[in-house]
Amino acid sequence: MEVVDVSSEPRIAEYMELLRSVSRATEPVEVQRQFGRLLLADPALMAVLSVSVRGLEAGQYKVTRFQTREQFGTPWNDPWANWKEIPSHSGGFIGRMIAEPTPKVVRHLLLNRDPVLSDRLAGARSCFVNPLFDEGRALNWSFTFRSEPTGLSSGDAAEAFLRGNIIGRITKTLVLAKQARELNARLTEQLEQIAQIQRSLLPDTLPRIEGLSIASSYLTSNEAGGDYYDFFDMGGGAWGAMVADVSGHGAGAATVMAMLQTILQGYHERGRGPAAMLEHANRQLLAKRIESNFVTAFFGVFDGARRTLRYANAGHNRPLLRRRRGVVEPIDGVSSLPLGIVDDPGYEVGEVALAPGDTLVLYTDGITEAFAPPPGKEMFGDERLAGALSDCSGEPACVIDSIHERLYAHTRSMDRVDDQTLVALRVEE
């Protein structure tokens, strides 16, 4: 086997340096600047002209760039920034050359009084016309004008044709990447604004409820989500606690969450109980035609005098109840369909007797459906959640910390693909 290092061959060395430079480029202008330096290696090169026919009628074109040799390597203005201001032309030398989408070598050139170029290139004696393909069509063209009359050889023309199209594709890729970065920055800003609005809809402070101690946690995902929790004075010393989760992510889910908060806060017949409150929310959401979104929700009413929890469940995760001695059991007596799906889901009311030292935990599926890293990718699940609850003291703050600690040990990440909401309520002794 024989290995020959050809990097010292002049043209290969030039291309290695060009490709090494453009591989570091983040802006299209940097690629054009590097390309301009390579063109300067040809002593006969006089000027470069760029033409585009993108979006124009047949026969029309726009001159997007004209640089003489003295201007090579200088800042290049993006023609698309002021595309509408660039005049359209037809005919002349350029019009004849771009009539067919093929590369051409023009020898013994004479350009006098051209209707578009005028006498700016009167000294040019040859030209290489290079079609630059995009989406399978010659939408852009490059004209390189030289002072010697014989023009490029067939080999040099083939090399220039390939080089121009590669540089054109690199430039297009960088333009698209820049647009994607700018769009991503705008979307990130908008999602942060949505997240701020979401946080403003949640309770600023936890209510002081006689006979209960409370802690809560709301951790947002990488996208705007639809988790929601709130507390409601039901009258007569009773208090309601709501945890809900809008399907999906993004602005749509956040909007439905805001709608739900407005619907619940505006409901003035709370004394009718948890099922009636969910039925009201269901009717209102259906009337607003939330279409592809639906909402799972658990609404529980704590009666301190009787030490009971009356609740209704609209397809939400089953809350967990940690008894004083550490036994954990789900609250799964009654459940029905999520909000916003059918007219009459038939919400029922369940009741659970509570004792001093019992702790109720409401949560969203961002907790139980958090995944471990590959290759296992197991969900956190109900059992791990129950274990985190069983192993702590039952104090609300301890419950929140224990679950978060177990979650991180499972996912090994501070990033979340879904909102994670926890509300812990302990019956005081």
pLDDT digits (tens, 9 = 90+) for 268-294: 899 899 999 999 999 999 998 877 789
Give the model's pLDDT for residue 75.
64
**Model pLDDT, residue 113:** 86
CA distance 320 to 362: 7
The CATH number that domain 10-180 falls under is: 3.30.450.40
Pairwise CA distance, residues 403 & 388, whole Å:
5
Residue 10 is predicted with a pLDDT of 84
pLDDT of residue 166: 86
- CA 197 – CA 311 distance, rounded (Å): 28
Using one digit for the tens of pLDDT, what is the confidence trace for 305-325? 999 999 999 999 999 999 999
Contact, 258 vs 197, CB < 8 A? Answer: yes
Residues of the chain with CATH 3.60.40.10: 202-427
Neighbours of 139 (CB within 10 A): 19
Q: Which residues fall within 8 angstroms of residue 213, CB to CB, at 6 or more apart?
A: 395, 396, 425, 426, 428
Strand partners, 62: 52
Neighbours of 236 (CB within 10 A): 9
Sheet with 60-68, side-by-side order of all strands: 89-90, 60-68, 45-52, 137-146, 126-134, 104-106
Identify the pLDDT of residue 239: 96
CATH architecture of structural domain 202-427: 4-Layer Sandwich (3.60)
Residue ranges, comma separated, of all CATH 3.30.450.40 domains in the chain are: 10-180
Rg (CA), the chain: 35
What's the pLDDT score for residue 73? 62
Tens of pLDDT along 153-201? Answer: 999 899 889 988 988 888 888 888 888 888 888 877 877 777 777 778 8
Predicted local distance difference test score (pLDDT) of residue 18: 76
The segments of the chain whose pLDDT lies below 50 read: none
Query: Which residue bears the tokens 């999520």?
Result: 338
